[in-house]
Every structure is written in structure tokens, then in C-alpha cells.
Amino acid sequence: MCGIAGYSLSTRSALDRTRAAQSLLAGIAERGADAVGYAHRSPGETYPVVVKQRTPASMLLDRLDVPQSASGLLVHVRDYTKGHPSIAANNHPVRHGPVVGIHNGIILNDDELLAQFNCSRSEPRMTVDSEAIFALAAHSHNDPLALEELTGALAAAWMDERQPGTIYAARGAGRPMWLGAGKHELFFASTRRALEVVEKYAGVRLRKSEVAEGTFLELSDARVTRAATFRHDRGYRDPIDLPTIRAPQEGVSCLERLAVLAAA
């Protein structure tokens, strides 16, 4: 199980962008330790800024830095299945053309889907299955019905360079996603607990709700500006029971360090 999280913020939000990002990272850190990364985008920027490394979250938490102008954020911790983390392009956020995204789950027909697109696997030895999600998003201009081609499990979120100020999120089969809405803030995360960490350390009150399977969301200016449904892979089942907590020591370490940072 990987962990995903992020936010869409209004320009009216006084929230500390870095502290909120650290809170999200600490909240999902227990879900994977093979790699960690984040992406952020500010109004007027054409390209998201992407930072990722092949370490657990605890080795990025102190160095995580998001400008106060940022309106959108994606955060990921990886527990890898396909696409070895020694290849940087396999780690998240993953790029396909104009789309940069994060994914929790496994896509079974990725090679078949990516064979349609000449720009796929643009980096040497890249094999991560998640690229198929972002290829479909890129080439369909974020049409939720394009996601119906996917076989497997997913909770995902992405930014499209062609759509400033917007984050897209989708929940298919077998992986969780929660929303937390504040006055000028909208968060998403793999778990409700991660949103509670944000409340505690970023100083914001959130109305929390679970996203239903087969849901596509467009987030902008701290609001859900579009919601749609798609036919997801209802028949998918993990071949073995996967524990949701894959790196408990990372969760403990990051939460302890976050408490110190918040108190400083």
C-alpha cells in the first residue's frame, strides 16, 4: 500500500503551506518507505515543481519546502509493486507528457494501454504501472470515462500543465481516499487519520468524508468544481491481504519530528 495526499488552497488561505505539507507527509508515512516525493504549483507557474528521492519519508520531512504562493500540492510515499525504485522515473510523482501524478494501487494492463502512446516510457528502464493512469488522463484531456480502460486498483491524483490551478483525483477499486474541507482549504489523503494530523499541526478544522469508489473529482480554489463517476474494476481483488501499515517506524518517527517542528 502506498500513501497519497495533497491539497487545493484558495489564495485567501493563510495556512502555512510547508507545515501543511509536512503534516500530510507525516500522516501517510507509515504506508511505504521505498521512496518519497511531492509536487507543488503556484498561480502563474507553467510547470509543477517536483521533488522525489529513494528514501523513507523521515529523510525528507525536514527538507520539505513549499512556497507560500502554492495553491496545489501532491504528496506520495511508495511501497512499490511494479517499477523498481532504483529507477528515479518509477518513483512518484510520475510524469507522462503534461501530467504529473501520484497513485496508490496496481494497474494490471498498463503495458497494453501505454503501447498506444509514443511518448510512454520516456525515461530509460521506466516500467511503473502508474504511468498508464496519467497517460489516459493526458490524452483524453482528463475525461473521467477514460479511466474505465484501467484494470486493477487505484486511488490517484494529478496535475495537468494545461490546466493551471486544478488538481484531479480519482478513486477506483480497492484503495481508500478521504477529503477534508476547510474554509479556504481542501485536502485529500489515503486515510482519515492523515487529515486529523493536518488539523492538529496545521491549525485548520476540516469536514471529513470518504470518497466513494468510481468517483472522479476536479479540485480548484479549495472547492470540488466537478464531480463525476466512472465504471471502475469492481472485480479486482488483491491476490494476498496487504497490510495498510507497511512502515510503522516511519509513521512514528515522522510524527515525533513533526511535533518538534511545530513546537519550534
Q: What pLDDT, in 10s, does the model give residues 206-228?
A: 999 999 999 999 999 999 999 99
Provide the residue count of the chain: 264
What pLDDT does residue 152 have?
97
Residue 11 predicted with pLDDT over 80: yes
> In this structure, what CATH number is given to the domain that contains residue 84?
3.60.20.10
Residue 122 predicted with pLDDT over 90: no
Taking the CA atoms of the chain, what radius of gyration do you get in angstroms?
A: 17
What pLDDT does residue 153 have?
96
SS3 82: coil
What confidence category does residue 238 fall into, taking pLDDT thresholds of 50, 70 and 90?
Answer: confident
SS3 152: strand
CA dist., res. 97 & res. 44, Å (int): 19
Q: Which three cell numbers stand for residue 173?
A: 477499486
CA dist., res. 72 & res. 164, Å (int): 10
What pLDDT does residue 71 have?
98
Q: Judge contact between 85 and 126, C-beta under 8 A.
A: no
Q: Judge contact between 153 and 175, C-beta under 8 A.
A: yes
Q: Which three cell numbers stand for residue 5?
A: 495526499
Q: Which three cell numbers stand for residue 230?
A: 466512472
In 3D space, the residue among 219, 213, 230 whose CA is nearest the CA of residue 158 turns out to be 219
Residue 113: give the domain boundaries: 3-263
Q: Judge contact between 4 and 189, C-beta under 8 A.
A: yes
Question: Looking up cell 507553467, which residue turns up?
Answer: 46
Number of separate domains in the chain: 1
Each residue's pLDDT tens digit, 15-52: 999 999 999 999 999 999 999 999 999 999 989 999 99
Question: Looking up cell 478544522, which residue turns up?
Answer: 205
DSSP E strands, the chain: 3-9, 35-41, 49-53, 72-78, 94-96, 99-107, 152-160, 166-171, 178-181, 185-189, 207-210, 215-220, 223-229
Question: Looking up cell 487529515, which residue turns up?
Answer: 195
**Beta pairing partners, 210:** 178
Average pLDDT over residues 168-178: 97
What's the distance, Cα to Cα, between the start and end of the chain in Å? 32
